[in-house]
Amino acid sequence: MKKTTYDIIIFGATSFVGQILCRYLLQEFGTSTHPGARELRWAIAGRSHEKLATLRTQLGDKALALNIIVTDAKDKVALTDMCNQTKVMVSTVGPYALFGEPLVRACVETGTDYCDLTGEAQWMRRMIATYETTAINSGARIVHACGFDSIPSDMGVWFLQSQSMLHYGEGCTTIKMRVKAMRGAASGGTVASLLNVVREASKDANLRRELKNPYSLLVGQHAHSSTAKVKQRNVTSAAFDTDFKAWTAPFIMAAINVRVVLRSHALNQATAALKYDEAIVTGRGVAGYSRALAITAGLGGLLVGAALPPTRWLLEKFILPAPGEGPSHEAQEKGFFDLRFMGTTADGRELRVKLTGDRDPGYGSTAKMLGEAAATLALDCEVAGGFWTPATALGAALHARLEKHAGLRFSLLDE
């Protein structure tokens, strides 16, 4: 283990989610002069000293001891120096396909652990294919998708499979995740990442084919070829779900969540195939069907509009939130999510679990999940170097932290 000044450095601390994350870490861990209930050494980083200093002032007197590190995302020497000062780098600087690679490269070359909020499957695949051998050799643990995409899906499946092993002695081979209820808007960073993916795909036929492959993240040395693959169901339109006795609609985050869950399944060296899909529950009867149709039409319209330069410009300029924009603190506190998972074993036995979060998914809850993922990576992670998923790298330790500190609740249902 290398000697470091910090456990965690937040790169992109002045971003909207970065600021929420800093407030959370300050509340939970304090600083060197105002220690919190839990001990953690951390600092804030970005390219503007002025903005970082302003953030530190806004965080209050308790934050005055926070160290500031000025680093540009394109400066290889500065990134390497920053990575050498910490156990874990946390990045909130997206779209990651545009800005993320230099920091990942610096981390794998220096043996520094790393986590982020990306939901950009095409970029994750590229990072794994390019850098996993280096990460294995240096000991760097790289964990993408540590926000709402994709900790609830990945850890929800982890919890369901743990309960299935406990009750039935075997894991489930078919799992459905359904969004029962949710309040909260998509973050500006998430929207920017989505638009960038659509922009790239509109110009690249190979990328369009890749984005249709639910197993696209099964690359690198840890994704064993022995893992069985089956045709996955992709919910793309209004459909009645007999298991949940309700109409369902496509869930936009399924595009990344399904891939992360299937990569976790492969990293666990499972030989039995897993069928996994996600959707939004819209209700029963005519009202539920109408809501499902409306969501399907709205999502389709958004993707078509984002693919065309003129309408994409209009969406970015007048309709969709921009990076750095987000809801008020009060709106974050009023947000929540309620997810349901249903698993079925190979011999037909069923299990259902519930996962809830107490803040809006894209901001308040995401910041807490990212903070606890980073803390787990810095203090409790025992896996070797390489590219991992939240469930496979952090597992039980992250589950305990999320329940105790981050407002997530995992529970087994009787139904």
Domain assignments of the chain as residue spans, ordered by start: 6-148+364-403, 151-362
Does the structure show a pLDDT above 90 at 158?
yes
| Structure confidence at residue 316 (pLDDT) | 67
Return the CATH class of domain 6-148+364-403: alpha beta
pLDDT band at residue 415 under the 50/70/90 scheme: low
DSSP E strands, 192-346: 239-241, 246-249, 275-283, 336-344
More confident residue, 226 or 46: 46
* Tokens standing for residue 228: 């069985």
| Structure confidence at residue 330 (pLDDT) | 83
For residues 86-100, give the mean pLDDT: 94
For residues 352-378, give the mean pLDDT: 96
| Structure confidence at residue 184 (pLDDT) | 86
Cβ atoms of 132 and 242 closer than 8 Å: no
Does the structure show a pLDDT above 80 at 188?
no
Chain centroid to CA 35: how far? 28
| Structure confidence at residue 315 (pLDDT) | 66
pLDDT band at residue 249 under the 50/70/90 scheme: very high
* Tokens standing for residue 385: 């170097």
